[in-house]
Amino acid sequence: MKYSIKKVADISGISTRTLRYYDQIDLLKPAGLSDSGYRLYEEKELNRLQQILLYRSLGMKLEQIHSVLDDPDFHTLTALEEHQRKLEAEKEKLNQLLATVRKTIQYTKGEIIMTAEEKFEGFKKERLEENERLYGEEIREKYGKETVGKSNEKFMNLSEADFQEMQRIEDELFTKLEQLTKTKNLDTPEAKEVYELHKKWLMYSWPNYSAEAHKGLVQMYLADERFAKYYNDRAGREIVSLLHDAVIKYAED
């Protein structure tokens, strides 16, 4: 079955102008042209368009989508399963936040009593699940399931005051790291403070501290681009190597 560009626009919810642009950049070529010269699409093109829209919904740029879809190793089923995992994770995160909002509304109306822990439970779960999704496998391989389980439990049991203090310490850590980028001198009080702040931040979730484990963690930050990306993206510059170097220099039990 063949579909006109207008029909595809109606089915997909995107404009004919966008479809023409996708054709121009070779992201989505029509199957052919009608006798009148109009673009025609078939099932194969509709399937590709669905993939494009799914990737767009995940925040990918068009150049990245183009590269992924044209990769000879690309498998549609694998991609769909990955989409499903990400969407389910996003759904769970939204459900937790919605639950917190509902309780807060009831609390504000005076209908229920809301503990301090409940006020922050959704945010803690969101952060924990994001870390699990991004780094869970690697962390368990390095430190073991039991250690990670205890760490997650300690984090979820943080009081409101501790949770807020943990956030404050992380903000201060980034401020000190940005200051350190100006000199990159590790023989300074600022460099030692970077280590101390990172250690203090870790202790809110680590059941036990050791300098060896701390050094191993920052080595993982440096080796794995996903860990490095969190720090570098938040600072807007390359800082993870400075964090690594400061911890390696000053970490001690």
Q: Which fold has domain 159-253?
A: Globin-like (1.10.490)
Give the pLDDT confidence score for residue 145 in this predicted structure.
74
Q: What's 4's DSSP letter? A: E
User: d(Cα 117, Cα 158) in Å, to the nearest integer?
Assistant: 8
Domain 3-69 classification at class level: mainly alpha
pLDDT at residue 250, as a whole number: 95
Q: What is the pLDDT of residue 245?
A: 96
Residues of each domain in the chain carrying CATH 1.10.1660.10: 3-69
Check residue 39 and give its pLDDT: 95
Per-residue pLDDT in tens (0 to 9) along the chain, 253 residues? 899 999 999 999 999 999 999 999 999 999 999 989 999 999 999 999 998 998 888 778 899 899 888 888 777 777 778 778 777 877 877 777 777 777 667 757 777 666 655 656 666 666 666 666 656 666 667 666 777 667 777 877 777 788 889 889 999 999 999 999 999 999 999 999 999 999 999 988 888 889 998 999 899 888 878 778 888 888 888 999 999 999 999 998 6
Q: Taking the CB of residue 34, how many other CB atoms lie within 10 A of it?
A: 12
Predicted local distance difference test score (pLDDT) of residue 127: 67
Token pair recorded at residue 142: 């390095």
pLDDT of residue 211: 92
CA 148 from centroid of its chain's CA atoms: 19
Structure tokens at 104: 């807060």
Taking the alpha carbons of 70, 73, 76, 80 in that order, is the dihedral positive or negative? negative
Hey, how many other C-beta atoms are within 10 angstroms of the C-beta on 238? Answer: 11
Query: ∠ at Cα 95 (92, 97), nearest 5°?
Result: 110
pLDDT of 33: 93
Which pTM was predicted? Answer: 0.49
Grouping H, G, I as helix, E, B as strand and the rest as coil, residue 41 is strand
Q: For residue 121, what pLDDT is reported?
A: 63
- Contacts of residue 1, defined as CB under 8 A and 6 or more positions apart, other chains included, come to 42, 43
All CATH 1.10.490 domain ranges of the chain, comma separated, are: 159-253
